[in-house]
Amino acid sequence: MKPAPFDYAKPATVAEACRILSEAGGGATMIAGGQTLMPLLNLRMSQPFILVDINGIAGLKGVSRGDGGTRVGPATRQSEALRDATLNRHLPAFVKALSHVGHYQTRNRGTIGGSVALGEPAAEMPATAVALGAMIEIASVRGTRTVAAKDFYLGPYMTVLEPDELVTGIVYPDWADGHVVLFREVAQRPGDFALTGLVGAAEVAGDRIARVGLAFFGMGPTPIRMVQAEALLTGAALSSLDVDAVAAAGVADCAPFDDHHASAEYRRLVGKRILAATLREAFNLKVAA
């Protein structure tokens, strides 16, 4: 038995889950797929008094279309989302990023909401939520609120979620049909956390980039929205795009770290190169002579 002792609850409704979280006064943790949380429990890095299993709440599963966006229930399994026709049709960047999350075996159990809500800085789905402009719906006994993904992440595994709050949905706004998917990651092995990676989408009208959203993962304490690169790209003409300047601007917003896999400087170098390569490939641009 690896985890420290805890009690277990499997509520059937969001209201019941919120009540348990509230009454636990910060001592409860939610489990959905558990593919990130279970290792933390087994290593005793997380020691909740109560584990609240949200897999029994039917309303937290599935994908739906609404008002200019696609809503993903947080308890939707990653493997189901990968196969989902709506997500493949409307959010190809989301599906592309998701195909790099963990392994076949962990995607069969892991959930979208777990990945988004935990906020591992090197994970694909938090950066995808930031890049695509997702809104995160949150509930507690105190009511509901919605937070933009770009304002949701505070640090590694730290978010604006209060201990009594539960993510009830992630809403991704629509991107125009035929939008360009931007994705690349560098990892030591398939399925490992990325050393660094990027995800985003762009709408192109004629020769101009009309709209773009881009974020790095593995390049700082949170997913990093490339604010400066987005500003350079938005409205830019593809025929005269200075890709290297955009790539330099992209990493300017980052705060990568040193660890036993790579130095911060290496991450910055790789980040710059994959951003330049991704943009050239996506927009079919030649390397300047």
Partner 1 sequence: MSETISRATVAMTVNGRRHSAEADARTGLGEFLREALGYTGTHLACEHGVCGACTVMVDGVAMRSCLMLAVQADGCEVTTIEGLAAPDGTLHPVQQALHEQFGLQCGFCTPGVAITLAAVTRDNPAATVEDMEKAMSGHICRCTGYQGIRRAIRQLAGEVPGPHGGEHA
Question: Binding string, 113-132, against partner 1, x = CB under 8 A?
Answer: --------------------
Q: Cβ closer to partner 1: 3 or 221?
A: 3
Closest approach of partner 1 to the CB of residue 88, in Å: 18
Are the beta carbons of 275 and 238 closer than 8 angstroms? Answer: no
Q: Residue 53 interacts with partner 1 (CB under 8 A)?
A: yes
Q: Applying CB under 8 A, which part among 100-108, 112-120, 173-181, 214-222 lies near partner 1?
A: 100-108
Question: Which one of 18, 21, 30, 51 is in contact with partner 1 (CB under 8 A)?
Answer: 51
- Dist CA 53 CA 72 (whole Å): 18
| Nearer residue to partner 1 within complex by CB, 16 or 174 | 16
Asked if residue 261 binds partner 1 (CB under 8 A), the reply is no
Closer residue to partner 1 (CB): 64 or 188: 188
Instruction: Name the minimum Å distance from CB 7 to partner 1.
Output: 4
User: Contact with partner 1 (CB under 8 A): which of 5, 66, 143, 178?
Assistant: 5
- Contacts by 9-13, CB closer than 8 A, 24 or more apart: 9/50, 9/51, 9/52, 9/53, 10/52, 10/53, 10/55, 10/56, 11/52, 11/53, 11/54, 11/56, 11/57, 12/56, 12/57, 12/58, 13/57, 13/59
113/14 Cα distance (integer angstroms): 14
Give the separation between CA 252 and CA 255, rounded to whole angstroms: 8
> Please, which residue, 27 or 62, has the CB nearer to partner 1?
27
Shortest reach from residue 5's CB to partner 1, in Å: 6
Residue 283 to residue 27: CA distance in whole angstroms: 49
**Which residue in 26, 59, 64, 105 binds partner 1 (CB under 8 A)?**
105
CB of 40 to partner 1, least distance (A): 8
Residue 132's CB is within 10 A of a number of other CB atoms, namely: 25
Q: Which lies closer to partner 1 via its Cβ, residue 107 or residue 225?
A: 107
What is the contact mask toward partner 1 in residues 166 to 205, using x (rule: CB under 8 A)?
-----------------------xxx--------------
- From start to end of 149-187, where are the E strands? 153-155, 158-159, 166-173, 180-186
Q: How many other CB atoms sit within 10 Å of the CB of residue 206?
A: 7
In contact, 47 and 7? CB cutoff 8 Å: no
Nearer CB in complex with partner 1: 31/254: 31
The residue to which tokens 């992209």 are assigned: 250
* Choice from 103, 145, 151, 235 touching partner 1 (CB under 8 A): 103
Tally Cβ neighbours within 10 Å of residue 46: 18
Q: Which positions touch partner 1 (CB under 8 A)?
A: 1-12, 16, 20, 31, 34-35, 38-39, 41-43, 50-51, 53, 55-56, 79, 102-106, 108-109, 189-191
